[in-house]
Structure 1
Amino acid sequence: MFEEEQAKTLNSELNVVYKYLRKHGISHVDAQDIVQETAFKFLSYSDSIKSQNIRGWLIRVALNYHHDQYRKKKRIKLGFNDEHLKLLSNDLPEDLLLGNEKKEEIQTTLDRLNPLYKELILLKYYWDLKYKDISILLDMKIDNVKTNLYRARNQFIKFYKEVKE
């Protein structure tokens, strides 16, 4: 059985997973469901988990579950949300309007990207994760992460220029 300290640690890690999911544009209800499923899997398999990085394991399980649900629904928006808009504006109406336009341009560009590229860009530039952390989360070699991120940046730039025109 779980001790109280372990339960507190798990709860704080699950809160991080919830925030991670919300930042990726997953609705409150869906994020709660995913976190609940992740907690259930953690409790079910806690004896056999060999990972030293519990947060990474939880995020990986949550993402896998989310991707499974995504395949079933075939529609979900990841990425840019209204919190980014606050960073783009200085609370002037003109800035808010420009911020909305920029937000739409970025979201449109992100939506056009290959799903892997989109996830890589968000993990690297929104979450500020290191290549090593991204490689662990996505179960990829670091060189593959660097190569795919390079391609993702180029594709983003190309699509963003098309959207701006």
Structure 2
Amino acid sequence: MQDEEYMRQLSLGIDTAFDTLVFRYHKPLFGYIYRLLHDEKLAEDIVQETFLKIYQQGLKGFVPDQFRPWMYKIATNTCKDYWRKPMSRLEYATDKEIEGTGQVHHIIDYQLERQWMVESLNQLSIDYRTVLYLRFYQDLKYSEIALALDISINTVKTRIARGLKLLENILIADERERG
């Protein structure tokens, strides 16, 4: 069944339809938000807030034309709301410090390369980083990214092209420093 049909069912009061959407999209949504915010606890909170907003819209009878871009738009806007609240950033940073750095990391080439890529992506502005994550990690089409971010397809194409070029320059510079 299509996601939009689950939203229709939710609008009719069938809560199990919402459970299916959560099951289907929790992991990819968490991955997207975590890559933007770099904080596991905060990412989980924003995923929950995103699903709460989806649920509330469904109960009001709203059914999006395309569910995935609409969901990512809600998630992106929720992240933007978070960044507009300096107090909440401070609270979460404090929580992160309290957790400490007692994690054990296994050093595997793949993980190092992946970490290097993520660190390089994180050097990009939020505009470039967001379109690259949506395209390459969430596998959204240009048109879906445009809907999710409320920008034109040409802007999506431009940001992806420029973002990739900037990323290439960052990776080349990092490689020179390492080599």
TM-score (norm 1): 0.71
Alpha-carbon distance in 2 for matches of 1:70, 1:20:
21
Matches within 5 A, 1:108-147: 108-147=119-158
Query: Is the alpha carbon distance of 1:35 and 1:101 closer, same or farther for their aligned partners in structure 2, counting shifts above 3 Å?
Result: closer
Which of the numbers 102, 106, 130 marks the counterpart of 2:113? 102
- Equivalent pairs counted in the alignment come to 146
Query: Is the alpha carbon distance of 1:7 and 1:48 closer, same or farther for their aligned partners in structure 2, counting shifts above 3 Å?
Result: closer
Which of the numbers 45, 50, 56 marks the counterpart of 2:57? 45
Structure 2 residue runs of 5 or longer lacking an equivalent are: 1-8, 94-106
Query: Is the alpha carbon distance of 1:4 and 1:153 closer, same or farther for their aligned partners in structure 2, counting shifts above 3 Å?
Result: same
Contact 1:17 1:35 in 2 (8 A): no
Query: Is the alpha carbon distance of 1:55 and 1:104 closer, same or farther for their aligned partners in structure 2, counting shifts above 3 Å?
Result: closer
Matches within 5 A, 1:16-165: 16-24=24-32, 25=34, 29-46=41-58, 47=60, 49=62, 51-72=64-85, 73=89, 96=108, 98-165=109-176
Contact 1:121 1:149 in 2 (8 A): yes
Alpha-carbon distance in 2 for matches of 1:127, 1:42:
19
Pairwise CA distance, 1:159: 0.7
Contact 2:145 2:156 in 1 (8 A): yes
Contact 1:14 1:58 in 2 (8 A): no
Query: Is the alpha carbon distance of 1:142 and 1:7 closer, same or farther for their aligned partners in structure 2, counting shifts above 3 Å?
Result: same
The AA in structure 2 aligned to 1:143 is: N
Pairwise CA distance, 1:99: 2.4
The AA in structure 2 aligned to 1:40 is: L
Pairwise CA distance, 1:155: 0.5
Alpha-carbon distance in 2 for matches of 1:105, 1:39:
31
Aligned-partner SS, 1:49: coil
Superposition CA RMSD, Å = 3.0
TM-score (norm 2): 0.66
Residue range with higher mean Cα deviation, 4-13 or 137-146: 4-13
Pairwise CA distance, 1:11: 1.8
Alpha-carbon distance in 1 for matches of 2:135, 2:52:
29
Residue range with higher mean Cα deviation, 144-153 or 54-63: 54-63
Pairwise CA distance, 1:2: 5.1
Query: Is the alpha carbon distance of 1:105 and 1:40 closer, same or farther for their aligned partners in structure 2, counting shifts above 3 Å?
Result: closer
